[in-house]
Amino acid sequence: STFSIGEAIYIAIKPVIKLIVTSAIGALLARKNILDAESSRKLSIVIINVMLPGLIFSKIIPSLSPDQPVVLGVLILTAVIYLAVGYVFALIVWVTTSNPYNWKHGLLCSGIFNNVGDLPMAYVLTIGKGPPFTEDDTDLGLAYATILACVTMLGVINLGGAKLIAKDFRDYDPSQDHTPEVDVENAPTDSHDINKDTLEPNSYPLTRIPSAPLAPMYSLTEINTDTISRTFSHTSAAARSLRSGRSRALSHDSSVRSYRGHESVISSDSEDTHKTHRNIIVRMWNDSILPFLKGLMNPPSITLIVSIIIAFVPPLKALFVSTNYHIAQAPDGMPVLNVFIDIGDFLGRATVTCGMLLLGAMIGRLRFAKLPHGFWRSVALMTILKLVVLPIIGIAWVEYMQSDLGWIPKDDQMLAFVLIITAGVPSATTQVYFTTYFAPPGIHPIALDCLAIYLLVQYISLIVTLPIVVSYTLMNII
């Protein structure tokens, strides 16, 4: 390494100071009621629909190239691994500490989803301007961070993260806002094993304006409420259909036993079985595949897909940025469509700054009235797992891909840096939004208190843990 320990610590602390000051300004604006919940909600919509697509378009097209398919695979695989490890962490916390019964799935989401957008981008923008990185590395790091953020958004919006939070409020009972004795047998083992009752589509005020804004990297749900509502309706209908299907199957089974040998009964049973299989396929399409595809119809996802296609097709890429592919140039000597890269860059520059202001405003509005007995053990364990253990796993995974698998080129220092930094960030602040969104009206659920203390402790601890991770990465990995 070209850095001494003092230099590495100084470089690692600089971005933290920037994050603290910017977030503190956001918190102050929230306290002054300038950046209130409604203003934050509208700003997050602007970020998601305008700024973030501009950032994605202007950074991914110039940074990725047709000879980097392995890099794209590494980013997606690593994002999935981090989500899976977070799920395991949540299970460990649930079975070993005391947690409110009404926060089973909320705890799962706190472990699974991280704030992988604002924080890594802020670090890239600060550290990427100096050695060992270059200006080109900064754009490359932003492209990597946006891809990781979009993969996580798919998990929140398209793959059931939001619906997982809603499960805590299906049959909400305030008397269960306590910490029961730790029971390993009742620990949630997947997103569908708790409370099999149907979720009626009108159980929750799906049109209420939340009292807390969501972090911009995940505020995509603001433009997908209809998708979520339709998904809940499909889920309810599917559950009723499954129950009637089981009843028909039992009825036919009884008939076969009573009238064995009667061909008409056998034929009827066979036909009904065929219909049941067809209904399962239809339900799978309506409940899973169709909502997933509809969830992709939003500006960030569309921009990401289009940008990757352009970046990996040389004739298309040559229309936007200068490459080795020969094509006619504009009068200024630049590619014909390069102006759209400039527009995207102009719009995307404010993404991270606005995101940090919203993060500070959200944290500044957090309140917790009470904490369950013994809950501090859950808070401490989750903080250690996410901010200490996961970065260690991330460092080991990056070194394994560098030295053993050869998936990360030695000269692509920014890829290794972004992957490690992404492993060292706290839980996603967007969970505050979803918890408020699905909570029954007129009730302050224990889930909000638990989530508030989770986030406060993690973000305070981040001031110490993330600079340590960055210092180690600069001295030993880069």
Q: Is 343 a residue whose pLDDT tops 80? A: yes
Burial class (CB in 10 A: 0-12, 13-18, 19+), 32: exposed
Q: Which two tokens stand for residue 124?
A: 């890239």
Q: From CA 165, how far away is CA 172, in angstroms rounded? A: 12
Residue-averaged pLDDT of the chain: 75
Question: What integer is the mean pLDDT of 150-169?
Answer: 75
Q: Is 223 a residue whose pLDDT tops 80? A: no
CA-based nearest residue to 165, from 173, 174, 156? 156
Q: From CA 52, how far away is CA 46, in angstroms rounded? A: 9
Q: Which two tokens stand for residue 458?
A: 């993690």
Question: What integer is the mean pLDDT of 17-35?
Answer: 89
At 378-420, the pLDDT tens digits run 999 999 999 999 999 999 999 999 888 888 887 788 899 999 9
CA distances from 381 to 96, 98, 306, 420 (A): 9, 11, 41, 21
pLDDT of residue 392: 95
At 425-478, the pLDDT tens digits run 998 877 776 777 677 766 667 777 788 888 889 988 998 999 899 888 888 887
Nearest-10 Cα torsion for 443, 446, 451, 454: 150
Domain boundaries, the chain: 5-174+284-477
Q: Is 271 a residue whose pLDDT tops 70? A: no
At 226-240, the pLDDT tens digits run 443 443 344 344 434
Please answer whether residues 375 and 453 qualify as being in contact, where contact means their C-beta atoms are separated by less than 8 angstroms: yes
Domain formed by 5-174+284-477, architecture: Up-down Bundle (1.20)
Confidence of residue 189 (pLDDT cuts 50, 70, 90): very low
